[in-house]
Structure 1
Amino acid sequence: MQSFPRWKIWLILSVLVVSVMASLPNIMSVPSWWPAALSKPMSLGLDLKGGVHLVLDVDVDKAVAHSVEEDVDTARQALRKAKIRYSKLANDGLVLQVSIRSSEDMAAAEALLKDTFNNYDIASAPDNTFLLTLKQAVADETRKFAVDQAIEVIRGRIDALGTTEPVIVKQGKQRILVQIPGYEDSAHAKQLIGRTAQLEFKLVDEKGDLEKAMAGSIPPGDIIMYGPEKVRSNGQSDRQPYLLKRHTELSGNEIADARVSIDSRFNEYAVTLKFNSKGAHKFDKLTAAHVGERFAIILEGVVNSAPVIRERISGGSAQITGSFSPAEAHDLAIVLRAGALPAPVKVVEERSIGPSLGQDSIDQGMNSVIIGMILVLIFMAVYYRMFGLVANVALIFNMVLIVAAMSMIGTTLTLPGIAGIVLTIGMAVDANVLIFERIREELYLGKTPLAAIDGGYNKAFSTIIDANITTLIAAIVLFQFGSGPVKGFAVTLSVGILASMFTAITVTRAIIALSTEKRSRIEKLSI
């Protein structure tokens, strides 16, 4: 029999030690000196740990409409800068309507619009009007970006809850699957995730007539917005109207941080905002140019407050007040820190899985692993005798290696993942079966026991590699294109295949080589 390289034995021992150390955190607490990379237990998925399952529908058409609405303001500023007078600026869905006062300005206006709005198809209409239609490719890209951005915003909000391994993936064109293992308050999760949290700073039109505007005569470039609903002493409720400049001076995109604070004037909870460098510069210019005027802080379409700018504010910070409870202030700080959703989201599916059901799933899954493993161990020991016991040792090593690898790479264990482990148990001994049957064939051909061992391993090697590589390719495809449970199954299957190839080809041969190396002649193999 060929001598087994010593470096391979040291490699196997090293892998065994690392695997045991990485697996132990799953069953016991490890000391503080334990290596950090080997101290992470596997995270349990929603179906094992319990938690919240939500499917969200993103209103992507609102994102497109909002983009076109912003372009109305862009068109207004461009026309004013070019000193081209207009009579109407409006948007209807994907169409932006621009009406020019003088026919003499039509050519200049057309050139300006084509240069400014290359994402639109521009057509002429009666009454000195241009119709700008958003290109379909641009609209589709805006819809896709809205979903991708919503995923990132939702991920930031959920991470702030302190949960581990949330699942946030895209489903179809405009839906998002959200799973939060170990979190049971579905109402709070929905409230936190669903808030658009759009924050805007607009100047109050101090010169405009609010009463005339309320009667329908709104000055060009102005809008009417309302404060929060307040209940009077007589039981009736009303909302304070504000006449504001349409242009947004600052938005939530310029916020770098948001923290819960205490408003010293009223001893109430508030949220203190810290702008990024760009936002701080804009806020500095805004407050310097409009001392003595009011600016409105608008959150989710409601005027939160409209304080007077007493002096220039160069610190790059502002404060939102509003009789918040501690929990409300904390949630508002979370959503402002994570950013605004690009479009409203609606919960279309909701499930809550209790931890007791999750524990039942763990128990049943572990029972299936244990029972499957015991049956395989018994079969191998009975059918292949001493060689079967060698395969059983390798199988136990294989299971330890799978748990260690999944712990180290931070995989979330799910029910399909447990199914993948059970499948791996059978596949792990399949390679040994091929090798042992090859050894039997070599013995039937009259070869000596040691030559039969060499022949069995050498001739079965290519078959084992081919079979496992094809299965591994299928697992990679499942991981790449699957989602949720399918990915969990693919991960455990991939790790199991790699571990079984290592244990079947290397570990069993090392054990057999060490047990036969000092015996020059063997009359019979127990196989």
Structure 2
Amino acid sequence: SKQAIPADKISDAIDRALKTVRTRIEGFGVSESVVQKVGNDRISVEIPGYDDPQRAENLVRQQAFLQFLITDKTHALDKVLARFDQILRQQGKAVAVAAPAPTPGKPVAGQAPATGTGLQNLLTGADTAKGKGQVAAANRDTTSIDSLGAKTGGPFETYITAGGMDGQYFVPFSAVPTIETALQLPAIKDAIPPGKTVLWGTDSAQIGAQWYRALYVTDAKPIITGASINDARPSQSPTDGTVVEFTLNNEGGRRFRTETAKNIGNYMAIVLDDRVMGTPPVIQSAIGTRGQITMGGKDLSAAQDLALVLRAGALPVPLKVAEAVVIGPRLGKDSINKGFHAGIVALILIVLIMTVYYRFSGMLAVCGLAIYVLYTLAALAGFDAVLTMPGLAGLVLSIGIAVDANVLVFERMREELDRGKTVRTAIDEGFRHAMPAIVDSNVSTILTASVLYQWGSGPVRGFAVTLIAGVVASMVAAIFVVRTFFLLWLNRSRGAQTLSI
């Protein structure tokens, strides 16, 4: 998954990465975000109103390259450990080998160790949870934990200890940097047996005061990749805790079923960005289009993020964060104040115009307009929308639509009163005749805004969300709320003969 990209294809790769990042951000539930290309090799992401920058950064830069790999059952790594150490000696990269110092506590912050399983059980092959039984680890050239550090070989032979399943090994956490650095050497990579790859796992285990990290050897060719995933959703499992359940497309499902049928009884590693997720399960039968990824003790938010990036697809190129800036609310305080003052002035003008021109009926319309504003703000809060400039524009436009609906009703009521109709009849006829025009215009606006939301991005979608919420609220306010106010007034006035309009 990590290959050099020719210079002439970098721009195209960034364009594809831009689409993936935009899909992730929009699926994150953040409105009015701005994702755009800067130059030929940079992407700018702006997320207004979001207060967890680290989570957002992880969401953007995670490559999310998913693979399903069969673990090695030929013990290929056992046969080349001495060769690895010989390469280190030949290159003058000898490492002082000593028994690793105990590392109390969790090995890595936020990383859950293996629960209820000591390293000794893993080394002897206990796998009762998967029904595999005892693995024939006795035939392997394994290293005893008690003698670890007593050997005089290099770091590979000293620190790497075979686990209890095919392709599984363990390394003391204090020795992980040494082994990890050595595995990156070109000569070591070339010495890895053909068709195999060495990957670190996310699971860990403890014996005594010492923590160990899992290392896996798998086939290099995946059964399938994340490109075959059709959908992914976070979930809670009573046995595995937080998981991500995924569904494959038809082609991926057929291939997955065929390959897993060939490997019944073997272990399958689920690899995300070159890290084995949890302990590889045993393939007990052919698997179709559904499966799950165990999150290894991580919380539901981590599962939500993983499901999101899997749905959006893998990044075609790894992204590195060049700069991350958190802008506080003080920077836009002046604009906020000006916008607030402008809004107050506009509302005062609307109240004055409606009251002066339509008198008492205008006052009822102003009360309905207040209810409309509350409905709109409640809807935006439910969508977690942020009122940026495009959003404010949508809100202002929807206020105009709400006022226009009242104007249509009131003008029709005036016509009915001029014809000599009673107040009750004029009110009923005014709403009945104005309703088709109100519904037609508002539905047309909603359809247009829906197109903007579906095909637009960033500020355009924010404008569309605010406009849709405002238009729906304006219809409710004009058709039901204001009419209710009129009926309440009629009941209290006991059949008024005149209407101030």
| TM-score (norm. length: structure 1) | 0.48
| TM-score (norm. length: structure 2) | 0.50
Higher share in strand: 1
